[in-house]
Amino acid sequence: MKGMSIIVKKTAQLISGMIFIYGIYVIVHGHLTPGGGFAGGVILAGSLILVTLAYGEEFFKLVREEMGTTIVESLATISVILIAVGGFLFGSKIFFNNFLPRGTVGELVSAGVLPLYNIFVGTEVASSIFIIFLSLIIFKEESPK
């Protein structure tokens, strides 16, 4: 896959890091401000897609990246289910039990396990959308015209 022109490349160089940090901000503060795992995950995927579109990678590098992203996605999904099962082990016998202390409303470390769910769901959404994009690119690369 070819990259784009120099204007897009240089702008992506400066902007992509900022988009990524904004996505992490939306995920981590999901229980205080608008946003959360779903919104932030899509923003993270957007920054990765921007870099891939602007620079264009070698074919084998793309395949390697796809394998890594697949593993990340599966791990994130397993983590969500493990936290849900954690309700059985700590406290009462309820699936999806909020077993950590809740803290006071409005602080960063509060709301028990909700920030953890946010982080893992964000990772999962980001990696799954990025996988979809990568597999479309790889399909175009490897199939004959």
Partner 1 sequence: MKYLTLFILSMILWLMLTFEFTAANLIAGAVASLICSLFFGRLFVSNVGKLLQPRRYYWFVIYLFVFLWECIKANVDVAYRVLHPAMPIRPGIVKVRTSLKSDMAKMLLANSITMTPGTISVDIIDDCLYIHWIYVRSEDPAVYTAMITGAFEKYIKKIIE
Partner 2 sequence: MTAYYMCFGLFLVGLYGVITRRNLVKIAISLSIMEISAFLFFALIGYISGGVAPIVNPADPDKVYVDPLPQALVLTAIVIGLATTALLLAVIIRIYRKYNTFDIREIRNLRG
Partner 3 sequence: MELAICIITGFMILGAIYAIHAKDLLSAVITCGIVGYSLVICFLLLKAPDLAIVQIVVDTITLIIMVAVVLDSSREERFSRLDLSGRITAFTSLVVIGILLYFFVIAAENLDALGNSTLRMAAPYINGAAEKTGSANLVTGVVFDFRGYDTMGEAVVLVTAVIGVLAVLRIKGKKEGFGLLKEDSAKA
Q: Which residues bind partner 1 (CB under 8 A)?
A: 5-7, 9-14, 16-18, 20-22, 24-25, 28-29, 51, 55, 107-109
Contact 76, 123 (CB under 8 A): yes
For the chain, how big is the Rg over CA atoms in Å?
Answer: 18
Per CB under 8 A, the list member of 28, 86, 121, 122 interacting with partner 3 is 121
Q: How many residues sit in the footprint of partner 3 (CB under 8 A)?
A: 56
Own/partner pairs, 4-7, CB within 8 angstroms, 24+ separation: 4/53, 4/54, 4/56
* Both structure tokens of 95: 């699936």
Nearest CB to partner 3, comparing residues 93 and 139: 139
Of 15-23, 47-55, 74-82, 130-138: span binding partner 2 (CB under 8 A) = 130-138
